[in-house]
Structure 1
Amino acid sequence: MEVVLHYRPWQKDPTILRKIAEEALKEFPVRQPPSFRPWFPNHSCKFPFKPKRRPPIISAEEAEQVRPHLAIPGVCGSLSYNCTEGLQEFHSDLKAGQRVQAEFGKINVSNLEKQSTNGGLKLRRSWSVSVPSFDLKDKILPLSRELQSVLESLKLHAFYRARWIIEPCTFNNQTLEDIWVQLNRMIKRNELPSCNATIQRCEEQIWVFCDILYCEYVGNHLRKKLSLGGIMNLFVHGHGVIYSL
């Protein structure tokens, strides 16, 4: 504790000033702080916390099986690595046309050069999300008995998320990009309730996510508006394909 003592100019005797300070401090009580006690039992022979299960034990045979994989160069290297090392589209020495070709895989380079001379290539976004709409309540019918029985057997709620998979067997003489453009227009016009979509160019697929409550309406609407053929599968994470249309 710091004590500041103010005195008059003629009171310069240090002994008197010290006595005045000692008398002033006598009014303040002196309290001895209590000794620290930890809230957990402090035992030197055991830890306060113990895991319920013992750590896994690796046998000598399993260690010998893992040892050859640890000797591969690059696996045991530095922890700071370049995650884009094997991705050609992130290399600075590639041209713009080559980067796009590495990403899409099936784009003609000559067409890219023509488009780049006319102002550059504009790539479409790879996802799309719908906004809530209340105008489709009268058009959405209850789920079919077949789908209801599937939900009861799998114990899935009607608001569980699922995805329709639009794959090449359903394109019906269309390209992946053509279907994606039409799908974006449908989502912008709020034709698909509770939907968001992604395009998987590496797998030549489009995934349309929706609640199971609206999945039959969304599937029929996609087939009609996008002129799709073949069979569309409804996929649920953890259960696989649960329904086909």
Structure 2
Amino acid sequence: MEDVVLHCRPGSAAGLSSLLERTEKLLEPFPCRTPPPFTPWFPTTSADLHLPIRPAKPAPVITCSAAPRDGDVSTSETSSRLHPASLCDRHEVTDSPIKRSWSVFTQRGGVLQSAQSLSKHFHRVVSVHRLHLRQRVKWVVGQHNCGTSRDIEQVWQTLSRSVRSSRLPTCNANIQRERAEIWVFCDVLHSEQVGRFLKDELRLTGRISLSVHRLGDIFSM
């Protein structure tokens, strides 16, 4: 407890003594204890400065053997290492019950051929919106592009195989099931080439749109 300062009007010594006694009795119920010494959590000696600060629990490990549905992944805090790659490779899109939400290029080989020159119309669009050639944009494929004999899930399976087999290097794809849409992300530089690949390889009908963050749809084919 800190010191208590008592303010009173000047008077006789007897009155001051009585006031002090009353104050002491009022303060008796309050505990008087010494606060514990401060123990810093950070290193305090030169010998401890280079020691890493580690979390109390190990980081969770992503496993492939017990992944739940709807694109979520399971984690295990008890496992100390990842499962072998052979266990992960056996989950193919065609026969796996897992509904993948993302399909990401794995850098296992293959690069897009040197980008063809932009068409005059698309070059004008890029100039008007001042887009950087390495800026990421997305192609939007909707249910209406799949035709009457296929649904969005079947198109997504075909696209996932193309992305994971490095047929669309530098591209990432995401399915928005609540919107019944597939988003394919690529660079502005390769967007026309990727769009033609999607139209031909996936046998899409109608027009697909190219969208940019904060600008919306800027191009279609």
TM range (shorter): 0.5 to 0.7
Tell me, yes or no, if structure 1 residue 230 matches structure 2 residue 206: yes
Measure how far apart 1:130 and its partner are.
1.0
Match for residue 126 of structure 1? Answer: 101
Name the aligned partner's letter for residue 168 of structure 1: Q
**Residue pair 1:235, 1:241 contacting (<8 A) in 2 also:** yes
Tell me, yes or no, if structure 1 residue 207 matches structure 2 residue 177: no
Name the aligned partner's letter for residue 203 of structure 1: R
Q: Which has the higher strand share?
A: 2
Structure 1 segments unaligned to the other structure (5+ residues) = 1-99, 104-120
**Deviation digits for residues 150-186 of structure 1 (CA, Å, limit 9, x no counterpart):** 1111111111110000001111121111011100110
Measure how far apart 1:125 and its partner are.
1.3
Name the aligned partner's letter for residue 179 of structure 1: V
- Quick one: distance in 2 between partners of 1:181 and 1:168? 14
Report matched runs for 1:123-202 at 5 Å: 123-132=98-107, 133-138=109-114, 140-173=115-148, 174-202=150-178
Q: What TM-score, normalized to structure 1? A: 0.49
**Residue pair 2:171, 2:185 contacting (<8 A) in 1 also:** yes
Counterpart secondary structure, 1:192: coil
Q: 4+ residue stretches of structure 1 with deviation over 6 A?
A: none
Q: Which has the higher helix share?
A: 1
- Quick one: distance in 2 between partners of 1:134 and 1:202? 32
- Quick one: distance in 1 between partners of 2:134 and 2:181? 24
Task: Give the 3 Å change call, closer, same or farther, for CA 236–135 of structure 1 in structure 2.
Answer: closer
**Deviation digits for residues 187-214 of structure 1 (CA, Å, limit 9, x no counterpart):** 0121113110111000000000100100
Tell me, yes or no, if structure 1 residue 243 matches structure 2 residue 212: no
- Quick one: distance in 2 between partners of 1:136 and 1:156? 20
**Residue pair 1:193, 1:214 contacting (<8 A) in 2 also:** no
Task: Give the 3 Å change call, closer, same or farther, for CA 158–229 of structure 1 in structure 2.
Answer: same
Report matched runs for 1:19-34 at 5 Å: none
- Quick one: distance in 2 between partners of 1:153 and 1:134? 32
Name the aligned partner's letter for residue 152 of structure 2: L
Measure how far apart 1:135 and its partner are.
4.3
**Deviation digits for residues 53-94 of structure 1 (CA, Å, limit 9, x no counterpart):** xxxxxxxxxxxxxxxxxxxxxxxxxxxxxxxxxxxxxxxxxx
Structure 2 segments unaligned to the other structure (5+ residues) = 1-68, 71-95
Q: What TM-score, normalized to structure 2? A: 0.54
**Residue pair 1:193, 1:218 contacting (<8 A) in 2 also:** no
CA RMSD of aligned residues (A): 2.2
Name the aligned partner's letter for residue 208 of structure 1: V
- Quick one: distance in 2 between partners of 1:135 and 1:166? 23
Name the aligned partner's letter for residue 177 of structure 2: R
Measure how far apart 1:136 and its partner are.
3.1
**Residue pair 2:170, 2:186 contacting (<8 A) in 1 also:** yes
Match for residue 66 of structure 1? Answer: none
**Deviation digits for residues 1-22 of structure 1 (CA, Å, limit 9, x no counterpart):** xxxxxxxxxxxxxxxxxxxxxx
Task: Give the 3 Å change call, closer, same or farther, for CA 238–135 of structure 1 in structure 2.
Answer: closer
- Quick one: distance in 2 between partners of 1:223 and 1:183? 11
- Quick one: distance in 2 between partners of 1:134 and 1:123? 27
**Residue pair 1:164, 1:234 contacting (<8 A) in 2 also:** yes
